[in-house]
């Protein structure tokens, strides 16, 4: 297994870093563009493992799609629900957006047979909410190993109008998948959410992107939402993809550990991505983070002046909780993170993963189903560092990136690496060049 020793910063970070495009927006835009009847150019796309999986799946269906690596653009020619392939084998890897969004989209096709599978980790992730709804709407679904999990075969008949009820309590992607499919059903649809969902800002993102593509929507997606039958829609052309606000969380945090000032362009207070709300978390722990005309600017004079912990509900921005959890050993007071039970069924059990790795670093961690309470212990962290600990990343990009930021702190005050990240290449899922960008910032700081 590859390992990467993180090089601590002995000088303050400075400069500007352009964050790559959002995975969540890129994959939604691909689905919405595929269901249009026009050619759309997506600009500023994220080209990573998850988005490549989506692109490959759409190409497998016969949808014309071209990727330009140099300019981070994707050109796609939509064909509504009449894509050429009536039968296909599709592998979704461990990409939750591809898994849920494609499953619902495929069911819009009349007379289709589609075989879907994913990685071993994907086979454990929840699909029941979307599969149970699609069964009720007339799709024949055969699960080949475990009920309501990959692998399975869909025999599709198009989707009827009427009332679609769904349980999206385990993932908002289930709700987003059905919402994006609904305008292309045979008649008007009302989507009714049974109970609550998690990560509600991602539902708002889906609805706003649907509106940008021309869909008519009555409701907020979180109770009863009516979507009139529209047929193929017309997205903006070109369609600009926002920088990834979740990926930005790591570099927004970096000056807290290194000192200095870092600017992330093209990030604004109001974005499609709710994870921009992580800025408020950093402000509450005492970090100077400001929105300017140039983007978001984080400034911190001295990394040895500790910031404070606090109590935070991360349910709306749960992808970013790992960033704060990894920072917590360096805070002056305990940190409590709640609203994260659903992250146990993402790429890995993220709650348990963070608790396990923080304990390896000598931190006191209380873990419940829905929360982490972390009491920082700097002395124990220094003692753990004597053994040059390595962080197991569980094939989870967010675990790797979060602890990559922690390792940037010059804990030993001599510039020597003290923390090693296992399997750093798992970041290819959403940010292939993360550790290179981190190293570039390090080198830039030390040349100054």
The beta-strand segments (E) located in 376-447 are 390-391, 420-422
| Residue 305 CB contacts under 8 Å (≥ 6 apart), including other chains | none
CA distances 17 to 117, 204, 243, Å, are 36, 27, 11
Inter-helix orientation angle 23-34/172-181, to 10° = 20
- Are the C-beta atoms of 8 and 410 separated by less than 8 Å? yes
Cα(334)–Cα(325) distance, integer angstroms:
11
- Are the C-beta atoms of 316 and 274 separated by less than 8 Å? yes
Active site residues: 319
Other beta carbons within 10 angstroms of residue 377's beta carbon come to 15
Strand order in the sheet with 39-43: 64-68, 73-77, 39-43, 239-240
C-alpha triplet 179, 183, 187: angle, nearest 5°: 120
- Are the C-beta atoms of 348 and 373 separated by less than 8 Å? no
């Amino acid at each position: 297994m590859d390992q990467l020793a993180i090089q601590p910063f002995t000088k303050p970070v400075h400069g500007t870093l352009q964050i790559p495009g959002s995975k969540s927006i890129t994959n939604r835009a691909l689905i919405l563009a595929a269901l249009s009847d026009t050619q759309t150019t997506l600009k500023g796309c994220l080209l990573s493992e998850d988005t490549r999986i989506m692109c490959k799946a759409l190409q497998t269906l016969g949808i014309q799609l071209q990727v330009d690596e140099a300019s981070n653009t994707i050109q796609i020619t939509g064909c509504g629900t009449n894509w050429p392939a009536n039968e296909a084998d599709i592998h979704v890897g461990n990409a939750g957006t591809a898994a849920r969004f494609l499953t619902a989209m495929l069911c819009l096709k009349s007379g289709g047979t589609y075989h879907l599978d994913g990685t071993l980790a994907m086979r454990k992730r929840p699909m029941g909410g979307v599969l149970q709804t699609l069964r009720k709407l007339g799709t024949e679904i055969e699960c080949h190993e475990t009920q309501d999990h990959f692998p399975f075969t869909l025999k599709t008949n198009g989707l009827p109008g009427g009332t679609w009820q769904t349980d999206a309590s385990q993932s908002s992607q289930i709700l987003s998948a059905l919402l994006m499919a609904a305008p292309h059903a045979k008649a008007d649809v009302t989507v009714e959410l049974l109970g609550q969902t998690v990560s509600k800002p991602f539902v708002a993102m889906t609805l706003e992107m649907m509106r940008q593509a021309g869909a008519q929507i009555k409701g907020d997606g979180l109770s009863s939402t009516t979507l009139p039958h529209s047929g193929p829609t017309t997205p903006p052309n070109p369609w600009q993809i926002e920088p990834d606000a979740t990926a930005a969380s790591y570099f927004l945090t970096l000056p807290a550990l290194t000192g200095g000032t870092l600017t992330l362009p093209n990030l604004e207070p109001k974005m499609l991505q709710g994870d921009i709300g992580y800025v408020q978390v950093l402000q509450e722990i005492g970090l100077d983070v400001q929105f300017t005309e140039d983007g978001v600017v984080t400034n911190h004079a001295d990394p040895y002046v500790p910031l404070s912990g606090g109590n935070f509900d991360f349910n709306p921005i749960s992808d970013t909780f790992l960033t704060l959890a990894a920072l917590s050993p360096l805070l002056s007071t305990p940190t409590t993170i709640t609203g994260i039970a659903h992250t146990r069924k993402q790429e890995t059990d993220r709650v348990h993963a963070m608790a396990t790795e923080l304990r390896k670093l000598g931190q006191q961690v209380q873990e419940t189903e829905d929360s982490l309470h972390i009491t920082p212990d700097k002395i124990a962290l220094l003692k753990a560092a004597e053994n040059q600990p390595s962080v197991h990343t569980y094939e989870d990009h967010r675990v790797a990136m979060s602890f990559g930021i922690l390792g940037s702190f010059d804990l030993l005050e001599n510039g020597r690496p003290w923390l090693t990240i296992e399997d750093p290449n798992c970041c290819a899922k959403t940010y292939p060049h993360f550790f290179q960008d981190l190293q570039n910032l390090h080198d830039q700081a030390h040349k100054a």
